[in-house]
Structure 1
């Protein structure tokens, strides 16, 4: 399981301490390595972690073979870029690096047969199933043992669940319930094609494993709520224990609010609505993460007490966490994954949702047949296609934008990598007054702060004027600055600094240090001692409660429930790192206006996406 997600290695390879760098170089000098390989290993292509890992593997193996050193360094590098393994067949017999940076002499990697034979001859490389630090499979993929085990566990469990057929109602009973929750096209007057939401509901009823993929506006959460109500109704007097979770606190809060809204529109009894889950949680909280974050309370020996687990934003879940999740499910529990297979992969190694969907042909994902009486569409029986394909439904109709919407057309062009069409759509906006897409010239670096000043002051005016933590958090949730990059003049870090300068010049903040009053915070890594999790957002505010000093600074946290959590003393929040005001790829609640700054070539474009209801898309 690999993913093509490039990262800025310069930011990852921060300048090492001189003594560390010298120590690593000294260790390598005691090894008999090809001079060209030594130059590559010590170049900026690799970090100290990559080099130390290669040294560690060589010491464990008791050898200084260049084949092992190069493979171990490349594997560590691949892991940092988000891959779960190193595919030796991709680099074997070729020059590395390609293209070649200045002052670095490329080395010729061994042929695949020679390389794999040399690696298997060491005592640190084993075959699948062996307990060795590195695992090399027959396809020439080299893994850290942990990731091979996670991938093997996940693949085995998904295949088992995909092949299992859940016991369910008769076809007549199922069709009657589907007709009520998902009216047939002839009843709604909309005969534009198969009802993929109805197809997803059928799969969720008949299978233990279901994947519902679709872009923004295709109704994934809307479909999930109806699936849950449908299953509760079919269960009758047998209660179903349901859990809904997401990778981050922000995503959990969003799906929780969407479930509350969708419940009001359900065509079912109040008794069924009352059984629908009221809260969504993070996957870490669901699994009962221990304080040390190294283990979970729920696992194979102590499975989760739920009959159905639904995971929203599944594309954000990395390999290791997804493996822990499926390992903790009860044997007969249903698992429903919702997400967009085309979105960016998770931050940590593994692109689970994308790889699950890529494991079967697109044709198989979207293969449908008409039910008797043309009452909607459903997935073909598993006997005509791979079992996994019968578990995946791709929602295709967008209910947020029509097919002629420029926002919809632009998003489709970008998703397909069609740059000419995307630029054509952007140019068309010049003659359309209500296109929903605006293209303006990206300002130069010297003008950037001036251009952003009024937008920032207007967008955050309510936040700075808030009188209570609750008002501050609500105001903060209504405006975001999104950046496509983290580094560089148009990236998160620099835009944050510009925003701080604008606010200080306006007298809104005083930059007394990293934890100044009114600084927005996004938690970027889990801290189980403080019960703060990746994606939680908050603000550093003056505490007006019963405290020792009137100028104590505290951070107010936004809980998934939407309430304001107990203020945390920012001076004690040593685990989580101060987050960002401008977050790459961050999602926003309804009614939030986004500004997306995207460098494109020398000039670049700044696109503003605004829907008819004022939400940002």
Structure 2
């Protein structure tokens, strides 16, 4: 498993490596040349059933080759079973943990945007998307459902149920087909999460109450107080909310509360999936803690150093799915805070939970409505959405929030101590009408240590309303808000997916103005000014390639900047004023995949590259840099976790497989001040109406 954002593992290493326990399918058996090919071609030695699905574009050569190899190794010749295995591989490739055979026909018929659409690591794959089905069930030779299920469950390739044999590569559980390693990771996460919620940690409730009141003085958001109280008494806290709702501020004050209660020698680790996110987390938390100390007259606390999750766990040279820290060699920390948790994959969270001490506190922070991990799973969303086991946590929390705050998450006539769902205890709870409200959902989620921040502190009203309409899937409302416009929201509604020069005139003006400011500051040797200008505007796209891709539009934007600023293109990425994106992690310089910088005149005839923030720029000589590329435009995935004063979003055609609700929400919320959306009305509505659905068993009770 590679560090997110770096060179991602291919499906062969991720799926095949270890799928039979000994890495039978790993390494050279399934190499990049085969797995990188998403073309709809009949793979080597494919039988007629799998060949038909491959020819229709449903399965890739990689999907079929893994299934055929598993069949050969386990002696399973039934193509119906091999098809189920191939669909499970396809599901993993698209980010799902499993595939439901009962839903497989419908998913393929509507052209689901997940499986089969994006290769591991987010690389765009060939094939049609939503609105352009792979092939209908009338065309494909789908097995008869009951006979198919029976054949899969009886196969020597498949472990039937949770208690099935441990040495089989595929597992059937309640109609869902898993590659066994992912089922095991899912079970580990389920068990560890439930165990962490089963019993509260001992704490002096009076001390917690005093600390929460001191660190969150009125008029603090009651939910921020609730999050701190949760972390003080629970081994798992999930802090969610949209951009600008105060998650990072809450994390810093939460850490201060824990130190007040448990002492300043509390060992706290800050981590994030990427180096860039880790650096932002460290900077924000350190600044907030310093401000708290100054306000109270206390000494400035020691800086909390943040790292990537891979570095925290002790990634071994050469990658792999195992780390230095595990059940036998636990992390020493008392508290681990993970930011941007929506980007954490299921296997990575499983490894983290394995490595934590049983009494350690875990705080997961993120926005479940943003784009999920480019690898397997949507764990943050699953943890927020699942109905947790019953417990006493909400009642205790109500007593820990100071009296001057309104009761947390209570409804009329309610106490805020539990959900209003009903159920028999043998199946999923029955959700009442009252539970469908946000507050009722949040009360129910509180049993799972989930606290959702809802008060935005950063956006203008119109931008916040647009983000909320997209998040809730209200397509007509979102389009109406865009068409109405406002000081923070603009729509350039195009006639078709290819905008004209006039339609991108506003984009050009913003790109040119920001780019010219970057170049002017860089020529003057003003690193801070260049970095500040770099954050004034960002052009975002869904695709990396094609007419609506970063490669094309970055070149267009570079030409606009050149014409506006008289920039020198001859120097390529080392021209003064060139904006650069780091594409690999580098421990020598401390630069992380996703870091952005600007080439600046050093005043002596050479150049340096400025990274970091305008307040604290870091200067690095070009020869010391890892791999970089020009970044006049970037994908929405790349921009996740960053914010810019103004953002322009160029939407692809409505049929694009990458155009989803999560992508549009993430793009819109990258803007602090103004967002401009360029695209057709159909593209806007298609995005809002198309949530990414990743199959998982975490939402189902066991």
Q: TM-score, normalised by structure 1?
A: 0.78
- Give the corresponding residue for 1:8: none
Aligned equivalents of 1:226, 1:498: Cα separation in 2: 44
- Give the corresponding residue for 2:280: 254
Of residues 531-540 and 338-347 in structure 1, the stretch that sits farther from structure 2 once superposed is 531-540
Secondary structure of 1:158's counterpart equals: helix
The reply on whether 1:123 has 2:156 as its aligned counterpart is: yes
Provide Cα deviations, 1:266-306, integer angstroms capped at 9, x if missing partner: 27886866346433222122222223122422222222121
- Give the corresponding residue for 1:27: 44
Match for 2:66 among 37, 40, 53?
Answer: 53
What pairs with 1:440-519 in structure 2 (closer than 5 Å)?
A: 440-442=492-494, 444-447=498-501, 452-465=507-520, 466-467=522-523, 470-471=527-528, 472-473=530-531, 475-503=533-561, 508-510=567-569
Structure 2, gaps ≥5 residues long: 1-31, 112-131, 410-415, 422-443, 677-702
Deviation at 1:556, TM superposition (A): 6.6
- Give the corresponding residue for 1:215: 242
What pairs with 1:147-546 in structure 2 (closer than 5 Å)?
A: 147-170=182-205, 172-183=206-217, 188=219, 195-236=222-263, 239-266=265-292, 274-275=300-301, 277-294=303-320, 295-360=322-387, 371=399, 373=403, 375-378=405-408, 389-401=447-459, 405-429=461-485, 435-442=487-494, 444-447=498-501, 452-465=507-520, 466-467=522-523, 470-471=527-528, 472-473=530-531, 475-503=533-561, 508-510=567-569, 520-524=579-583, 533-538=592-597
Deviation at 1:366, TM superposition (A): 13
Provide Cα deviations, 1:332-367, integer angstroms capped at 9, x if missing partner: 110001111222211111101000011128999998
Provide Cα deviations, 1:443-473, integer angstroms capped at 9, x if missing partner: 8544167654433221112333415594555
Q: Is the 8 A contact 1:253 1:562 kept in 2?
A: no
- Give the corresponding residue for 1:42: 55
Aligned equivalents of 1:348, 1:94: Cα separation in 2: 20
Cα gap change, 1:469/1:286 in structure 2, threshold over 3 Å: closer, same or farther?
Answer: farther
Deviation at 1:593, TM superposition (A): 2.4
- Give the corresponding residue for 2:174: 139
Aligned equivalents of 1:62, 1:318: Cα separation in 2: 32
Provide Cα deviations, 1:148-175, integer angstroms capped at 9, x if missing partner: 22222222111111112111013x3332
Of residues 382-391 and 64-73 in structure 1, the stretch that sits farther from structure 2 once superposed is 382-391
Aligned equivalents of 2:393, 2:632: Cα separation in 1: 39
Secondary structure of 2:189's counterpart equals: helix
Secondary structure of 1:564's counterpart equals: strand
Secondary structure of 1:594's counterpart equals: strand
Secondary structure of 1:290's counterpart equals: coil
The reply on whether 1:595 has 2:645 as its aligned counterpart is: no
Secondary structure of 1:399's counterpart equals: coil
Provide Cα deviations, 1:546-585, integer angstroms capped at 9, x if missing partner: xxxx99x997765999553654648x957x8877732314
Deviation at 1:22, TM superposition (A): 12
Q: Is the 8 A contact 2:334 2:361 kept in 1?
A: yes
Deviation at 1:502, TM superposition (A): 3.4
Cα gap change, 1:531/1:88 in structure 2, threshold over 3 Å: closer, same or farther?
Answer: farther
- Give the corresponding residue for 1:6: none
Of residues 257-266 and 83-92 in structure 1, the stretch that sits farther from structure 2 once superposed is 257-266
Q: Is the 8 A contact 1:125 1:136 kept in 2?
A: yes
Secondary structure of 1:178's counterpart equals: helix
Aligned equivalents of 1:408, 1:150: Cα separation in 2: 36
Cα gap change, 1:409/1:561 in structure 2, threshold over 3 Å: closer, same or farther?
Answer: closer
Secondary structure of 1:337's counterpart equals: strand
Provide Cα deviations, 1:179-222, integer angstroms capped at 9, x if missing partner: 222235xxx4x9xxx81111111111110111111112221111
Q: Is the 8 A contact 1:252 1:280 kept in 2?
A: yes
Superposition CA RMSD, Å: 4.6
Provide Cα deviations, 1:384-421, integer angstroms capped at 9, x if missing partner: 9989724111112223357xx22222221111111222
Aligned equivalents of 2:148, 2:33: Cα separation in 1: 31
Cα gap change, 1:137/1:613 in structure 2, threshold over 3 Å: closer, same or farther?
Answer: closer
Provide Cα deviations, 1:102-148, integer angstroms capped at 9, x if missing partner: 79972243344422332344433224464445332331222223222
